[in-house]
Structure 1
Amino acid sequence: MSGSGLRPGRAHDREILRLAIPAFGALVAEPLFLLTDSVIVGHLPDPALGALGVAGSALSALVGLCVFLAYGTTAAVARRMGAGNLGKAMRQGIDGLWLAAGIGLAVAAACWPLAPFIVHVFGASGQLAALAVGYLRVSLLGTPSLLLVLAGTGVLRGLQDTRTPLAVSVGSFTLNGLLNVWFVLGLGWGVAGSAWGTVVAQTLAAAVYVVLVVRAARRHGVSLLPDPRGVRAAGTAGVALAVRTACLQIVLLVATSLATRMGETQIEAYTITARIWTFLAFALDAIAIAGQAITGRSLGSGDVAATRAATRRMVLWGVVCGALFGVAVLLARPLVPGLFGADTAVAAELPAALWPVALLQPVAGVVFVLDGVLIGAGDQRYLAWAGVWTTLAYLPVAALSGGLVALWIALGVWMAARLVTLVVRARGTAWMVTGG
Structure 2
Amino acid sequence: MKFNDIERHKQLFILALPMILSNITAPLLGLVDTAVIGHLEYAYYLGGSTVGAMLITAITWLCGFLRMSTTGLSAQAFGKNDDELNSLILLRGIIVAFTIGLTVIALQVFYLDIALSLAGGSQQVQFYAREYSAIRIWGLPAALANLVILGWLLGNHKAKIVLWLIVATNLINLLLDLLFVIGFGWQVKGVATATLIAEYSGLVIGLTLIVAHFKQKIVGLFTSTQHLIERTFEKSALLSYFKLNRDILIRTLCLEVCFIFMTFQGARLGDNVVAANAILMNFLLLISFGLDGIANAAEVMVGKAKGQGKQVNILSSVNIALFWTGIFALVYSLLFYLGGQYFISTISSIPEVVEYAQQHMFWIIALPLLACWCYLFDGVYVGLMQAAVMRNSMLIATFGCFFPVWWLLKDYGNHGLWAAFSVFMLARGVTLAWHYQRHRYAF
TM range (shorter): 0.7 to 0.9
* Cα distance change of structure 1 residues 110 and 256 upon mapping to structure 2, 3 Å threshold: closer
The two structures have a TM-score, normalised by structure 1, of 0.85
Deviations 1:217-251 (A, max 9, x none): 65341238451234553333222112111211222
Paired residues, what number? 428
Deviations 1:15-68 (A, max 9, x none): 221112211222222234544445556788877655433321211111111111
Query: Which residue pairs with 1:175 in the alignment?
Result: 172
Among the aligned pairs, what percent are the same residue?
Answer: 24
* Cα distance change of structure 1 residues 324 and 192 upon mapping to structure 2, 3 Å threshold: closer
Quick one: distance in 1 between partners of 2:105 and 2:163?
Answer: 26
Deviations 1:56-81 (A, max 9, x none): 12111111111111111000000111
* Cα distance change of structure 1 residues 366 and 209 upon mapping to structure 2, 3 Å threshold: same
Query: Which residue pairs with 1:358 in the alignment?
Result: 365
Quick one: distance in 1 between partners of 2:345 and 2:259?
Answer: 25
- 408-417 vs 46-55, greater mean Cα deviation: 46-55
**Which residue, 94, 100, 106 being the options, matches 1:103?**
100
Deviations 1:160-217 (A, max 9, x none): 1111121111112222233344555666766545433322221121122233445626
Q: Letter of the aligned partner of 1:21 in structure 2?
A: L
Contact kept? 2:70, 2:152, Cα under 8 Å: yes
Quick one: distance in 2 between partners of 1:255 and 1:139?
Answer: 21
**Which residue, 330, 340, 344 being the options, matches 2:337?**
330
Query: Which residue pairs with 2:393 in the alignment?
Result: 386
Contact kept? 1:314, 1:369, Cα under 8 Å: yes
**Which residue, 302, 308, 311 being the options, matches 1:304?**
311
CA-CA distance at 1:300 after TM superposition: 0.5
Does residue 426 of structure 1 match 2:436?
A: yes
Deviations 1:65-108 (A, max 9, x none): 11111111000000111122222112212211111121111122
Query: Which residue pairs with 1:119 in the alignment?
Result: 116
Contact kept? 1:33, 1:198, Cα under 8 Å: no
Contact kept? 1:112, 1:140, Cα under 8 Å: no
Please, which runs of 5 or more residues in structure 1 have no aligned partner? Answer: none
Does residue 228 of structure 1 match 2:233?
A: yes
**Which residue, 233, 249, 252 being the options, matches 2:256?**
249
Contact kept? 1:287, 1:314, Cα under 8 Å: yes
Q: Letter of the aligned partner of 2:233 in structure 1?
A: P
**Which residue, 134, 139, 161 being the options, matches 1:137?**
134
Quick one: distance in 1 between partners of 2:126 and 2:421?
Answer: 32
Q: Letter of the aligned partner of 1:427 in structure 2?
A: Q
The two structures have a TM-score, normalised by structure 2, of 0.84
SS in 2 for 1:160: coil
Quick one: distance in 2 between partners of 1:44 and 1:274?
Answer: 19
SS in 2 for 1:4: coil
Contact kept? 2:136, 2:193, Cα under 8 Å: yes
Query: Which residue pairs with 1:205 in the alignment?
Result: 202
Does residue 26 of structure 1 match 2:22?
A: yes
Please, which runs of 5 or more residues in structure 2 have no aligned partner? Answer: none
Quick one: distance in 1 between partners of 2:289 and 2:131?
Answer: 30
Contact kept? 2:35, 2:346, Cα under 8 Å: no
* Cα distance change of structure 1 residues 54 and 424 upon mapping to structure 2, 3 Å threshold: closer
Does residue 398 of structure 1 match 2:406?
A: yes
* Cα distance change of structure 1 residues 263 and 125 upon mapping to structure 2, 3 Å threshold: closer
Cα RMSD, aligned residues only? 3.3
- Structure with the bigger percentage of helix: 2
Deviations 1:115-167 (A, max 9, x none): 34433433367676555444423322211111111100010000011111211
Does residue 287 of structure 1 match 2:294?
A: yes
Quick one: distance in 2 between partners of 1:43 and 1:269?
Answer: 13
- 46-55 vs 323-332, greater mean Cα deviation: 46-55
Contact kept? 1:73, 1:158, Cα under 8 Å: yes
Quick one: distance in 2 between partners of 1:271 and 1:128?
Answer: 13
Q: Letter of the aligned partner of 2:133 in structure 1?
A: L
